[in-house]
C-alpha cells in the first residue's frame, strides 16, 4: 500500500501563488507516473497535470498551461505543483495520484493510489 500525503494548500488572492507537495515516504519509483487532479464542489474530478517520474516529461490541462508547473524530487520522493497567477476558478480540493507502472495520463482511473486532498481557495 502506498501512502500519499499532500500539503501546501490554503487561501490566496487572485494573481497569487501556491506550491503543493505530494510525498510518498518510504517508496522508490522507477517507472511511475504521478498526477494532480482537482475537484470543485458540485463538479467532477478534473485533470490538472502529470509527470513521468523517470523522464520528467509532463502533461498539463489547457486551463493551467503557462501558469502551473509540475516537478519531482526523487531523493525526497516528493512531487510538486507550483501554481502561479491563480484565478478564482482554480478553487478546488487538489489530489495527488500515483500509478506505479505506466506513463502519465489524464485519465483518473489509471491511477491506483490517491492522497486525501488539500484545499486551495482563490479569492477575487
Residue 106 DSSP class: S
The Cα diameter of the chain in Å comes to 41
Compute φ and ψ for 2, nearest 5 degrees: -105, 130
Residue 30 has pLDDT above 90, yes or no: no
| Residue 52 grid coordinates | 513521468
Closest CA to 72 of 18, 4, 21: 21
Residue 28 has pLDDT above 80, yes or no: no
Query: Strand, coil or helix: what is 84?
Result: coil
Q: What angle do CA 104, 20, 27 make, to 5 degrees?
A: 60
Cα–Cα distance for residue pair 120/101, rounded to 1 Å: 29
Q: How confident is the model at residue 99 (pLDDT cuts 50, 70, 90)?
A: very high
Q: Express each pLDDT in 43-84 by its tens digit.
A: 999 999 999 999 999 999 999 999 999 999 988 889 999 999
Residues β-bridged to residue 81? 20, 70
Amino acid at each position: 500500500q502506498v501512502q500519499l500525503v499532500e500539503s501546501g494548500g490554503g487561501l490566496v488572492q487572485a494573481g497569487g501563488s501556491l506550491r503543493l507537495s505530494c510525498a510518498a515516504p518510504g517508496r522508490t519509483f522507477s517507472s511511475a507516473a504521478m498526477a494532480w487532479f482537482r475537484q470543485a464542489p458540485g463538479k467532477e474530478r478534473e485533470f490538472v497535470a502529470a509527470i513521468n517520474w523517470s523522464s520528467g516529461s509532463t502533461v498539463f490541462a489547457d486551463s493551467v498551461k503557462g501558469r502551473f508547473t509540475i516537478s519531482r524530487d526523487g531523493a525526497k520522493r516528493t512531487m510538486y505543483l507550483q501554481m502561479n497567477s491563480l484565478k478564482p476558478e482554480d478553487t478546488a480540493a487538489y489530489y495527488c495520484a500515483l500509478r506505479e507502472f505506466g506513463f502519465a495520463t489524464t485519465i483518473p482511473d489509471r491511477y491506483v493510489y490517491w492522497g486525501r486532498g488539500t484545499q486551495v481557495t482563490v479569492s477575487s
